Structure 1
Amino acid sequence: MELILKNDLPHQVKAYTSIANAFSLDVILKNSLYYQNPALLLDKHALMTYVAQVQKENGIPAEYKAHNEIGNYFNLDVKMETGTGKTYVYTATMFELHKRYGINKFIVAVPTLAIKAGARQFMEDGYTRRHFKDQCGYGTELDVLVLEANKKKKGKNAFPGVVREFVAGSSQNTNKIYVLLVNMSLLGGTSKLLTDTYDYAVEGFYKPTEGIKATRPFVIIDEPHRFSKTQKAYEFIEKSICPQVIIRLGATFPEIEAGKGKNKVRRKDYHNLLYDLNSFQAFNQNLIKGIAKEHFEPINQRLDKVKVMSVTSKTSVRLNLIQRDAATRPFDLKKGDSLGIIAPELEGIVIDAITNNTIELSNGQAKATGEEFSTDIYSSSYQESMIRLALERHFETERINFSRNNKIKTLALFFIDDIFSYRVSEGQEKQPYLKETFERLLTEKIDALIPTLAEQEQDYKAYLLASKADLNATHAGYFAQDNSSSDEAIAQEIQEILYEKKKLLAIQEEEGQFNTRRFLFSKWTLKEGWDNPNIFTIAKLRSSGSENSKIQEVGRGLRLPVDEFGNRISNEAFKLNYIIDFTEADFADKLVAEINADLSEGFVINEEKILEVAAKRKMEVDTLFIDLLTKKYIDHNKNIQTENTGKFFEDYPEFAIGLQAGKIEDRNKRKERKIRIRPAVYYELKTLWEAINTKYMLHYEKVEQESFLLNGLLDIVAKGVLADTYITSRRAELHTAGTRATTQEDSGVQFAINKPLPYSEFLKRISRQTNLPIQLLHQVWVEYGKMNTIPAEQINEQSAANFVKLFYDWKVENLPGKFSYSKMNLPVRATALTYSDGTPKMEITQGLIGTKFIEGSPSRNYLYDVYAFDSPLEKENLLAGGIEEVVVYGKIPKGSIAIPTITGQSYSPDFMYVIKKNNGEKVLHVVIETKDVENQTTLRGIEQAKIDCAREFFQQLTIDGYTVVFNTQLHNKTIREIIDEV
């Protein structure tokens, strides 16, 4: 499979364009040496003006704007929540800065080797290169130079090769961006890799730092909370590399103390914060998965605890076993001793190290003097229950994901504390207990699940049987110790988990057999920097006791999933199952508090907002304020009462600025809700449902007949599609004072790089990305060639990319009404509501029809047994379903119909109705698209184009024998009015 990147996700586009907009050609000076970036003029007034403008456009709160400043370099900060595509954004930033300002020397600094591996994989992968070069039209490639720890060799001390290439690379090469990828441990500290003096020089520099500094680099810092400004790595970047610009991107930033005495406060260390995509925005906009946390209460209720009393020496520590019904018992343990000496539940946990006031345990925890921890959570029975629960949630999700038209490979991640409970150690004959337990419970679960499968789920049954036939193939682990292992099987597991994301996401191998590997085990090693979009369950077997950011803890599973063809699924709500022990029972509350604490001063309702909502609801302002106050939604100072936000935003969604209800769910506090499809109601909608799920092809015959498309395409070509790629030389002379080359102004030459495509391949590339017939494209170029000379060297990749980009803009502006649909002869497939044989499914994924609920039973003529909705307008429609003329109605599952449109994106409306006509016949079908905007002019061009396509699609459906009326419902129109019109 191939992952498919999108270049039009608004939150990502806004992030990297915000960075680019903080500069201007007015403050960029030409480089004087061929290997340098252009120089940034630190004009504080100009740069602060650009920063202020970007912050105004992005609504950055005043409290963050107060931290704007410019020092010896230009610092820019971008905050993006975990899972929203930070690596994509900083990669796009490099392309955009190169395109606008000619910057092509970047250093990407990351904290760990795992993050380094992930960044390298993304930037070097073929799908990434094709995406930025062709789809985005940059026509440029990244040369990713990965700095690794030096392995000493005998003989000459050679200058690090990747640094040599980075320094010597020409900044005049318009087709290449040089990226030096480096992890924190190589930036100063004990590493001398960049500070040693070597036997050979590059451009006269014998120290790597001197050469890197001379390139005037732009530095990008990933995970800035790991690079505090007082840290050695950051100081090394500042003082030894001396970048012109530092761009920091992350979900979390370091905290610093400001003020003194009573006025001392802790705040985030932001400087020139350009974009703030915080947690509640990411959850509310469905940019990441929601979270459902779950835990078991203690098994025996004894609640025995162990307390760290004192460190008696560098090798010994005293611990007390505190029991409710027995005397406290002291134990003196040494480094290497097992805590199983104290209680059987703690078997397998070893003291790894002892410091002045802490002990470090083999489960990754550090326990300080005076700290207590429960023994119950370490018992094998408690742990077994957690595995069983994780498997239960995994298979619930997997079964739904497997029944989709485009299946989603469903993965689960288990964090464990002891590698040898999973891996076989050398000389060990007995199977590790955790591995053995997991495989036993997995077999039990598969055996229990198979008899419940419907006749239509034979594919899933085969997948489960393949899993059972080779249990070892279903799971894999990655641990820090694995890096030094010589075991080939372990090496293959590491390769797949760390570097072969696409393989892990595939349901089938290239040879056709099932790829059942979907359960991953790790000992806190897979943290920041590692992610997989299809993690749907995380189980923390034995608590980490971590006080880290709660978002960071679940971050490995927050990304939106991709289907079996690599498409990112962004039009529905997904949940991450998060299984923990009872000591973290308040996880959900802490997570919500953390998210709301990130809201700055925006969690106060201002007067303007109250006036706006009162006018929209046609209420007196005082009446609205008193209602909010009486219901304890706000206090007298207009602060939102966080404990009532769920009910507040449900009653007044216009004020919804915090975390929406249902995004963070505590399953221990809330009964699981399933949404069932009512078979009798479905059969009333069956004819309509099958009709609108019939596959149709979008084509442009009407346009071709009118020569409209031909003329439009000629206009596109005439705008300047054809382009040469140039490379510029700089003549250099040697100075007697050294070996540096300097540029003489106006002394260079410029050549076009002659890399044409074969004409047939040129047409095919455009056709594949636009769906335009090759014959028509050939006609366009023939017509254009009659009046213009077309140089052969301009039939190249850049020209093809230019054409595609302009064509998509042209379509939205010019093609409404100039296209048609035709029915395709394709076999019946499963849908969101039915199996492939046309029978209705029992249940539907809740996220497909809405994230909020209306309590009580729906009317008898509604398709589902629960009312679920997303917008206030949808809620009104659901409650208005009792209209006499409505026989049956239902919410159309998100993204389930997929009507092709001229925008290149598919489209799916919101509601479907069967309406009884005046003569009593049940022959009229109505499909409705809801838009919570005031009027037609408020719709964006792309949205309007999609609606125009849907209207044409349903007209064709009616011509083909299925009567369907399509309507757009705006905020100012009720469902009653629409039905009356029909």
Structure 2
Amino acid sequence: MKLKFKVQPYQTNAVESVVDCFAGQPLASGITYRIDPGRKAQASAFEEGFKNADIALTDLQVLANIKEVQRRQNLPLSDALVSSAGCKFNLDVEMETGTGKTYCYIKTIFEMNKRYGWSKFIVMVPSIAIREGIYKSLQITADHFNESYGKKARFFIYNSKRLHELESFSSDAGINVMVINIQAFNARGADNRRIYDELDDFQSRKPIDVIASNRPILILDEPQKMEGTATTEALPKFKPLMILRYSATHKTQRNRVHRLDALDAYNQKLVKKIAVRGIQTRGLAGTNAYLYLEGIDISKKAPVARIELEVQLKSGEIKRQLRRLEFRDDLFAESGEMDQYRDGFTISQIDARYDTVEFTNGVVLRAGEATGDVSERDIRRIQIRETIKAHLDKEKQLFAQGIKVLSLFFIDEVVKYRDYSQSDEKGAYARVFEEEYALLKDEYLSELALDNEKYRTFLERDPVTKVHEGYFSIDKQKRLVDPDIKKTGEDKGLSDDTDAYDLILKNKERLLSQGEPVRFIFSHSALREGWDNPNVFVMCMLKHSDNTISRRQEVGRGLRLSVDQHGDRMDHPAVVHDINVLTVVASESYKDFVSGLQKEIADTLSSRPRKATEAYFTGKTLTTESGPAEITPAMAKQIYRYLVKNDYSDDADQISTDYHAAKEAGTLADLPDELKPHADQIFQLIDSVFSDAQLPKVEDGRKPKTNPLNDNFEKKEFQELWARINRKAVYRVEFDSDELIRKCVSALDSQLRVTPLQYTVHTGIQGDEITDEQLKTGDGFEVIGSTTEQGGSVHSLVKYDLLGKIAENTELTRKTAAEILAGVAASVFGQFRENPEHFISEASRIITEQKATMVIERLAYDGLSERYDADIFTANQTGQDFSKASTKLKNHVYDYVVTDSDIERRFADELDASSEVVVYAKLPRGFLIPTPVGDYNPDWAISFKEGSVRHIYFVAETKGTMSSMKLREIENTKIACARKFFDEIGRRVTEDRVKYDVVTSYEKLMDIVGRAAA
């Protein structure tokens, strides 16, 4: 699997914002200089080097370019060039985490080389983690940029023991990129100081002098982490031509030329949405009763609370179990009469609006809260369980689209995952994970739709021990160990753990493959900066709370948009935020986590204006047909008055929530006529003024998007249709066993053909000379011929229970299976010896088909008094894949319909557009017709407008083909059974019977309806 890259307009804008600052700089390729050979070299050893050409523009020209770049983005204009680190040209590029800033500055390197000929670049980073990530990015984007620019960059990581790479950096005329972490030149160790020393193994030269001779362009990744004294004093020694700083959170302001902050990234759908499952402990006065409210399921009948409590089993053992409880359920009875639930723990209210459960004793529990006897171990188990649930919800949604879901646990000690003092070496977290995963997997499998076979196979494929893995440092005994963690400085709380980062980055593409079993990753909390995988959908912090890492840094590791199995980015605007949602399982309440996260985001938006004044709008640039034009003071006054008049700004000139609500609802008041030609740009200017209402909406991970029933459900036409089909029934099959035996014998005699076992003989000859390695691998012989034979003396040595296997596969008794096999012709039965396994599978298939044929012929349905409740339309709405939902519909009983295929989506669109259809429904999974080959869920229930004869009700099954050869036998059988069901249930209706059929398109449906109405 290979990650793919494409040209993104927002990234191109970031590149042009930097490159255009030097518009007018002449193209100068191959500026040469004489490389200092060092004192130990001969005079004749002078070599020619290639350095960056000096900036030919004056300071005023560069400043004018910068202002032009800032003006077209409506950024604050710079009054002067801000010098820093001994360099006059310092440009700040603000890009939110996850939007591809590494890609942008790599592309900037190529673009600067193309336009101006500059070829020597140094990417400087604050840690080994980021260094390794950048090196990986340079590798995986090489082919992409080669396609665009027709050349590749030479890149390497600076190492004081591989100084020959510096020689190549200087002497090569192509694009050269050196990646260096600041510890390589600002730390006190001997290896780190070598960059400033005259080295014998470097012809008595100083590496820093050789670097500086190239006049490199410095690119600082995360510059806010490189503002310590040692780093700022060292930067001038590199003699940079310019310094480009890329970060989401600049501390120091210089000449800012581009901004793509957290609000821009979210509003433009360039990063994932965030959902939070908060978990909080609190004490309840006067009780030690353990309770955890996992969440509330909404149904049309009544909400159901998922509560974990202590239960005494019949064996006397006490376990904590999750129960689905309803109004008036008594926890004392549910727990097996545990004393702590005796006094008033009967549910008096379940409030789905506020996610609360109230008991008769006055105790109120909120979703995500655990009370009573709760230890840290309990909280960690709950976190692990919630992470697995969030993972499986997302995986069920995205599997069919070929998107691998990854979940990431950050822990603070390796021993909690891998404990070498235990016989199985499992730490506490690994043990809890395996216990919870096994239980939840079985639960999800039991609720999975019968036709979702591919995901079922995927879920059952790998044992629990294979689905999780630890990414940590490794010692000499190849054991996982804790990394060295920085105690001071900008990197406090983080680690430069090369081993672990190497594992993470090398396995990046492999982890994205659905063929790779690992889906849950445990890593050290100190390594968070090294984690950069686009398909991390769930993050869990199994660590003690601290202040060294912000919430924003935590979620930043999972913000990048996901990719599918082809390496394509999932960024289609219509569905990007239905697919790309990052769920954070936090060890604090949802409210605390969200408010803390939003405060941190707001604090980073310091460059945004806070007030929508006339002065702010005056002078801003608009793009017109005749070119750029400034907003005049008169136009600025009109914009200001428009905001005040419609209450879109308050007395403090801040943008009000009314403005954002109207914008979201599409009900904004019209602009004055003079401003209407520039409406989009003016609203962009208004949106750039910060207000709290703009902060990204953080979803509650326990409240999945739902699709409520609308007024169409209550229409008379649908209620009458529903009343005709919602009756439950049982089937009976009466047939003569002797007849089944006769038909099976006849079919086996005429159809059973078994492929004999084959064997192949290879002939080889030993080579003239054989190495030790060939002896080990068996490669010392050359195959010179082979022959394949079948039958004869080749027989399986495995003993088969033929009767048992046939009876099991066909669901017949051993007696019936024996009578069938006894009647088969000797020549046919003799094939068993030639290939037993093929004989069993083919005989089972033929017998099953004969059985199915007889079942349909003899099948009868008896209606029951019991009916399906309308509740099935709202049950199990969690985990719906809204990326496969239609646009909003007008005649469906839901606002949206989640389809299983393109055929179904087209069919729904045509039904909704039809003037003949009054109301229709995609029947919920809970509506099932029993059949001898498994329950069957029809697709559609449709009510047509009343015609001249009678009203027509229709139940339709949509298929892409009507060819029985392309429909599986089990599908054909279920369809045949459904015909019987609707025919027999319909006999009880005197008029307006329901018609059932299989259709391939809306046109086919109308053809059948027309015939039915005739």
Q: Shorter-chain TM-score category?
A: 0.5 to 0.7
- What is the letter of the counterpart of residue 23 of structure 2? S
1:902-957 deviations in whole A, cap 9, x for unaligned? xxxxxxxxxxx9999999999xxxxxxxxxxxxxxxxxxxxxxxxxxxxxxxxxxx
Distance 1:302 1:149 in 2: 63
String of CA shifts for 1:561-616, please: whole Å, max 9, x gaps. 00011100101212100111126742212322333441644443355989999xxx
Aligned to 2:172: 170
> How far did residue 422 of structure 1 move?
0.5
Matched, 1:593 2:593: no
Q: Secondary structure at the match of 1:472?
A: helix
Maintained 8 Å contact 2:283/2:372: no
Q: Residues 492 and 245 from structure 1, CA distance in 2 versus in 1: closer, same or farther, beyond 3 angstroms?
A: closer
What letter matches 1:232 in structure 2?
A
SS in 1 for 2:698: strand
In structure 2, distance between residues paired with 1:915 and 1:595: 52
Shift of 1:660: 7.5
SS at match of 1:526: helix
Give the TM-score normalised by structure 2. 0.53
Cα pair 2:160 2:195 within 8 Å, conserved: no
Instruction: Give the aligned partner of residue 134 of structure 2.
Output: 119
Task: Render the CA deviation track for 1:615-646: whole Å, top value 9, x for unaligned.
Answer: xxxxx9999656643xxx53123202469956
Change over 3 Å in CA distance of 1:600–1:275 after alignment to 2: same
Aligned pair partner of 1:144 in 155, 163, 185: 155
SS at match of 1:193: helix
- Is the contact made by 2:157 and 2:178 (CA closer than 8 Å) also made in structure 1? yes
**Residues 1:524 and 1:86: Cα distance change in structure 2 (over 3 Å):** same
Deviations along 1:645-683, one digit per CA (max 9) or x if unpaired, are 567744656555568879432428x843323799x99xx
Secondary structure in 2 aligned to 1:394? helix
Which of 62, 69, 75 is the equivalent residue of 1:47?
A: 62
Do the aligned residues in 1 keep the contact of 2:96 with 2:260 (CA within 8 Å)?
yes
Which residue identity does 1:208 align to in structure 2? P
The 8 Å contact of residues 408 and 562 in structure 1, kept in 2 or not, is answered as yes
**Aligned equivalent of 1:473, options 466, 477, 488:** 466
Paired position in structure 2 for 1:578: 584
**Does the Cα contact within 8 Å between 1:377 and 1:582 map onto a contact in 2?**
no
Q: Distance in 1 between matches of 2:226 and 2:881?
A: 41
Matches within 5 A, 1:946-957: none
Is the contact made by 1:496 and 1:503 (CA closer than 8 Å) also made in structure 2?
no
Partners in 1 of 2:708 and 2:948 — Cα distance?
33
1:6 shift after superposition = 0.5
**Structure 2 residue 895 is the aligned partner of structure 1 residue 864:** yes
Quick check: 2:414–2:481 contact (8 Å CA) kept in 1?
no
Structure 1: runs of 5 or more not aligned: 151-158, 255-268, 305-373, 509-514, 614-619, 685-839, 868-877, 892-912, 923-959, 965-982
Distance (whole Å) between structure 2 residues aligned to residue 279 and residue 418 of structure 1: 32
Q: Counterparts of 1:299 and 1:143 in 2: how far apart (Å)?
A: 57
Tell me the equivalent position of 2:677: none
Q: Does 1:672 align with 2:679?
A: no
Aligned equivalent of 1:187: 185
User: Which of 220, 229, 232 is the matching residue for 2:230?
Assistant: 232
2:507 corresponds in structure 1 to 500
Q: Deviations over 1:796-829 (max 9, x none)?
A: xxxxxxxxxxxxxxxxxxxxxxxxxxxxxxxxxx
CA distance in 1, matches of 2:202, 2:209: 11
- Rate the CA distance shift 1:843–1:83 in 2: closer, same or farther, 3 A: closer
SS, match of residue 525 in structure 1? helix
* CA displacement at 1:276 relative to structure 2: 0.3
Partner amino acid for 1:541?
L
Counterparts of 1:877-956 in structure 2, within 5 Å, are none
**For residues 624-663 of structure 1, what are the structure 2 equivalents within 5 Å?**
625=643, 628-629=646-647, 634-641=649-656, 649-650=664-665, 656-657=687-688, 663=696
List aligned pairs for 1:791-802, cutoff 5 A. none
Q: What is the distance in 1 between the residues matched to 2:523 and 2:392?
A: 20
Displacement of 1:446: 0.5
What is the CA-CA distance between 1:303 and the residue it aligns to?
14
Provide the secondary structure at the position in 2 that maps to 1:221: strand
2:474 touches 2:481 (CA, 8 Å); kept in 1? Answer: no
Contact kept in structure 1, 2:704 and 2:878, CA below 8 Å: no
> Structure 2 CA distance, aligned partners of 1:3 and 1:441?
33
Q: Which residue does the alignment assign to 1:782?
A: none
Post-superposition offset of 1:188: 2.5
Give TM-score scaled by structure 1 length.
Answer: 0.55
Q: Residues 271-305 of structure 1, C-alpha deviation per residue, up to 9 Å, x if partnerless?
A: 1111100000100111000101121220545899x
Query: 1:677–1:841: 8 Å Cα contact kept in structure 2?
Result: no
Structure-2 residue corresponding to 1:717: none
Residues 583 and 622 of structure 1: is their aligned pair in 2 closer, same or farther, counting only changes over 3 Å? closer
In 1, are the aligned partners of 2:121 and 2:178 still within 8 Å (CA)? yes
CA distance, structure 2, for counterparts of residue 290 and residue 889 of structure 1: 33
CA contact (8 A) 2:707 2:877 kept: no
- 2:253 and 2:165 map into 1 onto residues whose CA distance is 32
Question: What number of residue pairs does the alignment pair up?
Answer: 605
Query: Which of 130, 136, 145 matches 1:132?
Result: 145
Cα 1:437–1:529 change in 2 (3 A) is: closer
1:449, distance to aligned residue in structure 2 (A): 0.7
Verify: 1:397 aligned to 2:399, yes or no. Answer: no
Query: 1:61 aligned to 70, 73, 76, which one?
Result: 76
Q: Secondary structure at the match of 2:474?
A: helix
Q: Which residue of structure 1 lines up, in the alignment, with residue 278 of structure 2?
A: 295
Alpha carbons 1:534, 1:561 under 8 Å: kept: yes
**Larger relative CO (CA 8 A, sep 6+): 1 or 2?**
1
Residue of structure 2 equivalent to 1:420: 415
- Do 2:409 and 2:520's aligned partners in 1 also have CA atoms closer than 8 Å? yes
Query: Which residue among 431, 434, 439 is the counterpart of 1:439?
Result: 434
Q: Sort the Cα spacing of 1:865 and 1:568 in 2 relative to 1 into closer, same or farther, 3 A.
A: closer
**Superimposed CA distance per residue, residues 393-452 of structure 1 (whole angstroms, 9 cap, x where no aligned partner):** 111001001122xx1000001111221010123676663111101111011111111111
Please give the secondary structure, in 2, of the residue aligned with 1:459: helix
Q: What SS does structure 2 have at the residue aligned with 1:194?
A: helix
Identify the residue that residue 384 of structure 2 maps to in structure 1.
Answer: 387
Contact kept in structure 2, 1:118 and 1:499, CA below 8 Å: no
Q: What's the secondary structure of 1:476's corresponding residue?
A: strand
Please tell me the residue identity of whatever aligns with 2:384: I
Residues 862, 69 of structure 1: alpha-carbon distance in 2 compared, 3 angstrom cutoff: farther
Q: Find the counterpart in structure 1 of residue 211 from structure 2.
A: 212
The alignment status of 1:3 with 2:3, answered yes or no, reads yes
Bigger radius of gyration, 1 or 2?
Answer: 2
Mind listing any 5+ residue stretches in structure 2 that lack a counterpart?
34-48, 288-370, 483-497, 623-630, 632-637, 669-682, 718-875, 899-908, 923-941, 953-999, 1005-1014
Give 1:841 shift. 11
In structure 2, what is the equivalent of residue 906 of structure 1? none
CA distance in 2, matches of 1:435, 1:250: 36
Alignment CA distance shift 1:584-1:109 (3 Å): farther
Kindly state the Cα deviation for residue 17 of structure 1 after the two structures are TM-superposed: 1.8
Q: Does the C-alpha gap of structure 1 residues 192 and 605 become closer, same or farther in structure 2, counting only changes over 3 Å?
A: same
1:342-421 matched pairs, under 5 angstroms: 379-404=376-401, 407-421=402-416
SS at match of 1:94: helix
CA positional deviation for 1:387: 0.9
Q: Distance in 2 between matches of 1:624 and 1:207?
A: 64
CA contact (8 A) 2:4 2:567 kept: yes
SS at match of 1:192: helix
- Distance (whole Å) between structure 2 residues aligned to residue 399 and residue 273 of structure 1: 44
**Whole-angstrom distance in 1 between the partners of 2:92 and 2:115:** 20
CA distance in 2, matches of 1:101, 1:454: 60
Q: Cα deviation per residue 1:160-219 (whole Å; 9 max; x = unaligned)?
A: 22222212x233xxxx311111112102221113112112446xx711000000011111
The residue aligned with 2:558 is 557
The answer to whether the 8 A contact 2:396-2:879 is kept is: no
Cα distance between partner residues in 2 of 1:885 and 1:603: 54
Q: CA RMSD in A?
A: 4.6
**Residue 543 of structure 2 corresponds to which residue in structure 1?**
542
Deviations 1:688-730 (A, max 9, x none): xxxxxxxxxxxxxxxxxxxxxxxxxxxxxxxxxxxxxxxxxxx
Q: What amino acid is the match of 2:96?
A: E
